[in-house]
Structure 1
Amino acid sequence: MNNAGERLYNGLVKENPTFVLMLGMCPTLAVTTSAMNGLGMGLTTMVVLALSNLIISLLRGIIPNRVRIPAFIVIIASFVTAVQLLLQAYIPALNKSLGVYIPLIVVNCIILGRAESYAYSNPAIPSLFDGIGMGLGFTFALTCIGAVRELLGAGEIFGLALMPDSFVPIRIFGQAPGAFFVLAALVALQNYVKDVRKKAGKSYEKIGSGCSEDCMNCSEKGCTKRFYGEDGTRKAAEPDKEER
């Protein structure tokens, strides 16, 4: 699954970081009070994710395995700082609205997870599109959650009034509990669609990485089948590459 189209489709649908992998829940629940906030946070994360994936992939041959996580964080933090400065200069309202969640992109598990499981083991171009695909999936999820919360909580989307004058806003959707309600409803809807497709013979059971069951030659470092067998018991640890 290394061509551009597959990586984009993977991030948007098969491995959507929010609706499928359930990653990045902190910004997902905190900033999606409106569609604009969700869109802004998603696009900001996508830029950092795509560029960090690209650089990590290009440097994977010279980053020592034992210090790869600190190296990933330094690279990601550099891009987050640059993006935050650009937001402060050109979109200060969005920067103020997202607040502390922009610096926290540095430790976002989506970015670190893709760096570890994909970019560190694959060529630069597929890694770039993997970052774009995951970023688009994250943006889509946050925008959907923000749009639903804004519509029900304020009767508008992107600041445009869509509900009739008689509509009474449901204020809880603009508060923290509303984020959980909307996320749960959208995940349930996604699971329903998956079940319908499964009954139609289009199963999405293997949504993780297109697993080939060939663990010896597998490049997916985050795959749980490397560590656990089909019966759930833990496998014996393999020696580090540098120690072989």
Structure 2
Amino acid sequence: MSAGKLMRDGLWDNNIVFAQLLAMCPAMAVTTSGTNGLGLGLATTAVLVVSNLLVASIRHTVSSQVRIPVFVVLIATLVTIVDLVLNAWLHELYKVLGLFIALIVVNCAILGRAEAFAVKNTVAASAVDGLAMGLGFTFALTVIGLIREILGSGTVFSQASALLGTSFAFLEMKIPAWDGALLMILPPGGFAVLGFLLAGKRAWELKQQRAARSAASGCTLPDHASA
């Protein structure tokens, strides 16, 4: 599979949240702001890329009988490292994300990609797959977080400087005369936003499929007519 196809698969066609409907717990719990979603998404991306690399590297040396426990230990070790790094250098974000950093280890998507892809493919392809899936997950969490933050708090990328550095403080905005609706930053609001996004994605895909069928039938009409 080409790198472009892997990227499209992870970002859109097989997106962890919007297509596979995995990792719903962090998707609903931490996306009260775009910054929180971006932070957890980037942390998960780092774990996905490195875990795929390691799994692909040892796939010929680990027997099938013990590969799942070995993969779990690898993922748990990587998550522990990420947890310590965030606690040391991004402590404000660490306090917000809290337990959900450690819970990356039970994210079905990480072990799922190791078992479904990395254990069967090369190191390079596995790294691209991990990056694509991670960026797709980050994209989903950030979009959900931004919508909930705007509607629920009236802000945009609140405390982005705590994650990205002071040079990104320009991303932090406050919408005038709008304090937000509390419902949107509560779990029901998260599920509502996710539902509308899933419906929009599905509607767009159906429109693209109809357009493709129309184009195909239009191209074949002259052939049938000539026949």
TM over 0.5: yes
Q: Greater shift after overlay, 135-144 or 101-110?
A: 101-110
State how far apart, in whole Å, the 2-side matches of 1:73 and 1:202 are: 44
Partner of 2:97: 98
Counterpart CA distance in 1 for 2:108 and 2:40 is: 15
Shift of 1:169: 1.3
Q: Which amino acid in structure 2 is aligned with residue 17 of structure 1?
A: I
> SS at the partner of 1:200?
helix
1:25 aligned partner: 24
Counterpart AA for 1:81: T
2:173 to 150, 161, 168: 161
1:74 CA drift (Å): 0.5
Q: Counterparts of 1:202 and 1:188 in 2: how far apart (Å)?
A: 21
Q: Distance in 1 between matches of 2:108 and 2:59?
A: 19
For 1:168 and 1:36, the matched residues in 2 are separated by 18
Q: Report the alpha carbon displacement of residue 202 of structure 1 after superposing the two structures with TM.
A: 6.8
Say whether 1:189 aligns with 2:190: no
Give the TM-score normalised by the residue count of structure 2: 0.86
Structure number with greater Rg is: 2
In the TM superposition, 1:63-78 aligns within 5 A as: 63-78=62-77
Gaps of 5+ in 2: 159-171, 215-227
TM-score (norm 1): 0.80
Runs of 4+ aligned structure 1 residues displaced above 6 Å come to none
- Cα deviations across residues 128-174 of structure 1 (Å, max 9, x unaligned)? 00000000000000000000000000111112335331x35111011
* Matched length: 201
Say whether 1:131 aligns with 2:130: yes
| Separation (CA, whole Å) in 2 of partners of 1:128 and 1:194 | 27
RMSD: 1.3
Query: How far, CA to CA, are the matches of 1:91 and 1:168 in structure 2?
Result: 27
Task: Single out whichever of 91-100 and 153-162 deviates more from structure 2.
Answer: 153-162
- Residue by residue over 1:46-84, the C-alpha shift from the partner in whole angstroms, topping out at 9 and shown as x without a partner, is 000000000000000011101111011011011111111
| Separation in 2, partners of 1:6, 1:132 | 13
Bigger share in helix: 2
Residue deviations 1:1-58, cap 9 Å, x none?
2x32221121001111100111111110111000000000000000000000000000
Deviations 1:151-199 (A, max 9, x none): 000111112335331x351110111111101110111110011011011
Residue-by-residue CA offset, 1:90-129 (whole Å, 9 max, x unaligned): 0001111111111111111000110010001100000000
